Structure 1
Amino acid sequence: MQKTALVPYADLPREHRDRHVLTSTVDVFGTAHWLLVAHAPQPRGDVPPFDALVVSVDPGGTVERTEVKAVRARWPHLDRLPDGGFVVAVSRVRPHEDAHQVQVFDALGREISSFSAGDAIEHLLVDETGRIWVGHFDENPIGIRCWTAEGRLVWTSDGAGIPGLFDCYALNVSGAAAWACPYTDFPLVEIRPDRTSGPVRVWANGVRGSHAVAVHAERVAFYGGYGRERHRLVHGEIMATSVESTGVGLLTLSDGTSPSRRRVVARGSRIYVQAEPFTTWGVYDLDS
C-alpha cells in the first residue's frame, strides 16, 4: 500500500515547550495556534477560570503571543477570528456548569461575549467571514450548526436533508463553506449557507469512518477509519451523485511512522495532523 508522508508545516517555538498544550489548531488562513498553560489540568473536579497563552505561528514563520483571560474550558476547542480575536469552547457541558461554554475573546485576550452552542462539540472551526461552525458527536446528535461570534444561529442542519447525520465525524471549513462526512451514512456534504440555489449538496460515499476530508475541485481525500484503517488515506473523484474511489494508501508522519495519539484539522484541500506531544503540525495537500 502506497505511503504518503506529511510535510512539516509549523512548530511551537522551543521557548514555550515547557508549558502544557491544552489544544492546538490551524486556522482558515493557515496560521497555527497553541493554547498553553503552566500545568496540565486535573482530570476531575471543578476548574476555576484561568489565564492562558496563545502562541501563533503564521505561514511565514512570524510568531505572535496573546494572553487570554479567565478561560473556563478544561478540555477546549480553539480557533481564531479574522479580526485577531479567539474562540475557546468547552466540548462537554455538565449539568451544573455554565451553559455559555463558547467564549469569544478580542485581539487583546479579553472576553467580549459568550453563548451556548450545545453539548458534545466534536469540531469548532471559524470561516473567513468570522462565522463559527460547530459539529457535534453522538452524545448530543444535533448535527452541524453555524453561529455568529455574538451567538446568533445562522444555519442549522435540522431539516437540511443530510442522510444519517448522527455524529459529525469529519468537518472541513474553508473560505465561507463547510464540507462534512457524518456518521452513520458517511455522505460527502457541501454546505454554503449563502448559496441561493440551496445551501446543501450531498454525494453518496462508500468510504466509512473517516475523521477528516479534504476537497480540491472535483477531487476528494478521506483520512482515517476504523481499527487498522486509522491511518488510511482514500482518494476519490466527485461525480454527479456519488464519490468514486480512485486509490487507497496510508498517511504517515514526515519520518514515515504512524502517530499514536493525534489531532486533525481539515481546511479546503489540506489535512493538518499533529502527533503527541502536540508541538508540531504536518500537512497533506490534495492540491499538490
Structure 2
Amino acid sequence: MQVTPLNTYARLPRPYRAMHPVHSTIDAEGRAHWLLSERPPSAGNAPKSDGHEPYDALVVTVGDGAPRETHLSAVAHPRGLLEALPDGGFVVAGARTRRTAPPGGQVQVFDALGRASWTFDVGDAVEHLLVDAGGDLWVGHFDENPEGIRRWNAWGELLWESGDTLPGAGWIMDCYALNVGRDAVWACPYTEFPVLEIREGAPVRVRSNDVSGAKALAVAGQRIVFFGGYGGDADRLVVCATTGSGVEPVRTTRAVRPDGGRLGRRHVVSRDERVYVLEEPYSEWYVLDAGATFPAAL
C-alpha cells in the first residue's frame, strides 16, 4: 500500500517538556494548546474518597506568535479534556460523570486569566469535545451513553441534539469521528457509519458510507478523507468522493510520520479539511491537509 507522510504542524517548546501533558487540542483558529501539570495525570494530587484534589495547571498555546502561558487554578480533572474558548478562556472536562468531583462539575470553564468560573454537566462517556468558532461545545459520546451528538453553549445550555437515531442514519450508538469546522459539523457514528453533515438551521444531511471504523475525517470540497480503522487499519487513509446520497472510495493509502516511520499511540482532532495527529509522548502535532494532499483530480 502507498504511504502518505503527515507534515509537522506544532511543537511544545522544549522548556515545558519536563511537565506532564494532561491533554492537548487544536482550536478553531488552528492554534495548538497543551494542558500541563507538575504531576503525571494518573497520579493527580492527593486522592480522596470521591476523586482527586483540585490542582493548578498550565496551558501553553502555540501558533500565533510567541508561546503564551495561561495558569489555571483548581482544575478538578486529573485526565481532563482541554478546549479553548474564543475569548481566551478554556474548558476542561471529565469524560466520565461518575469520576467527577464535585458533583455537577464535569465541565469547568476558566476565564482568560485562568480563574475557574462555573461548571456544568454534558453527560457521561464523552468521546469527542470540540469548541467551534462561536464558542459552543460539540460533544460526541461513546457507547456507554446513547445521547448521540449534542451542542452546548459555554454556560451549559443545550442548544441541539441528534438523538439516538436519525432518519436514514440508523442508531447513533458511538460517535467514532467528529469534525467541527467553520460552517458545518461532520460526524461518522457507529453502527452504520453514515456521514452526517450538520448545518445551522438545516436538516441533518445523511450520506451512506461503507468505510467502517474511522476515528477522524477531513472534508475538502467534494472529497472526504477518513483516517483510521479497526486492527491493522489504524493508519489507513481512504479518500472518497461525495455523491448526492453517499460517499464512494477512490483511493486508499496509509498515513506515516513525517520521517516515514509508523505512527504510535495518538490523539486526533478533525477540523474542516484537516486532521491533526498528536503522537505519544504528545509534544508534537502533525497534520494532514486533505485539500492540499489529495487534489480534486485523483
TM-score of the superposed pair, with normalisation by structure 1: 0.95
Paired position in structure 2 for 1:175: 182
- Tell me, in whole angstroms, the C-alpha distance in 1 between the residues paired with 2:197 and 2:203: 8
- Give SS of 1:228's match: helix
Ranges in structure 2 where 5+ consecutive residues have no aligned partner? 293-298
Paired position in structure 1 for 2:7: 7
Q: Tell me, yes or no, if structure 1 residue 149 matches structure 2 residue 154.
A: yes
- Tell me, in whole angstroms, the C-alpha distance in 2 between the residues paired with 1:249 and 1:96: 40
- Give SS of 1:94's match: helix
More moved, 48-57 vs 107-116: 107-116
Following superposition, the deviation at residue 260 of structure 1 comes to 2.0
Following superposition, the deviation at residue 255 of structure 1 comes to 1.1
**What does the per-residue CA deviation read over 1:220-249, in whole Å, with 9 as the maximum and x for residues that have no partner?**
000000001010000001101000001101
**What does the per-residue CA deviation read over 1:110-169, in whole Å, with 9 as the maximum and x for residues that have no partner?**
122211000100000000111100000001121110000000000001164342310000
- Tell me, in whole angstroms, the C-alpha distance in 1 between the residues paired with 2:286 and 2:65: 14
Following superposition, the deviation at residue 203 of structure 1 comes to 0.2
**What does the per-residue CA deviation read over 1:76-110, in whole Å, with 9 as the maximum and x for residues that have no partner?**
11111111111110011217742320011111111
Following superposition, the deviation at residue 285 of structure 1 comes to 0.2
Contact conserved, 2:77 with 2:100, CA < 8 A, in 1?
Answer: no
- Tell me, in whole angstroms, the C-alpha distance in 2 between the residues paired with 1:183 and 1:139: 13
Contact conserved, 2:94 with 2:100, CA < 8 A, in 1?
Answer: no
Q: Tell me, yes or no, if structure 1 residue 56 matches structure 2 residue 37.
A: no
Paired position in structure 1 for 2:255: 251
Following superposition, the deviation at residue 199 of structure 1 comes to 3.3
TM-score of the superposed pair, with normalisation by structure 2: 0.92
Q: What are the equivalent positions in structure 2 for 1:8-157 lying under 5 Å apart?
A: 8-42=8-42, 45=47, 46-58=51-63, 60-94=64-98, 97=101, 98-157=103-162
Total equivalences in the alignment: 284
- Tell me, in whole angstroms, the C-alpha distance in 2 between the residues paired with 1:64 and 1:95: 30
- Tell me, in whole angstroms, the C-alpha distance in 2 between the residues paired with 1:61 and 1:12: 13
Contact conserved, 1:9 with 1:281, CA < 8 A, in 2?
Answer: yes
- Tell me, in whole angstroms, the C-alpha distance in 1 between the residues paired with 2:157 and 2:87: 18
CA distance 1:199–1:71, shift in 2 (3 Å): farther
Paired position in structure 1 for 2:239: 235
Contact conserved, 1:52 with 1:71, CA < 8 A, in 2?
Answer: yes
More moved, 226-235 vs 106-115: 106-115
Cα RMSD after superposing both structures: 1.4
- Give SS of 2:15's match: helix
Ranges in structure 1 where 5+ consecutive residues have no aligned partner? none
- Tell me, in whole angstroms, the C-alpha distance in 1 between the residues paired with 2:217 and 2:41: 31
- Give SS of 1:287's match: helix
2:203 pairs, out of 187, 199, 202, with: 199
Sequence identity (%):
49
- Tell me, in whole angstroms, the C-alpha distance in 2 between the residues paired with 1:180 and 1:95: 27
Contact conserved, 2:104 with 2:119, CA < 8 A, in 1?
Answer: no
- Tell me, in whole angstroms, the C-alpha distance in 1 between the residues paired with 2:221 and 2:42: 45
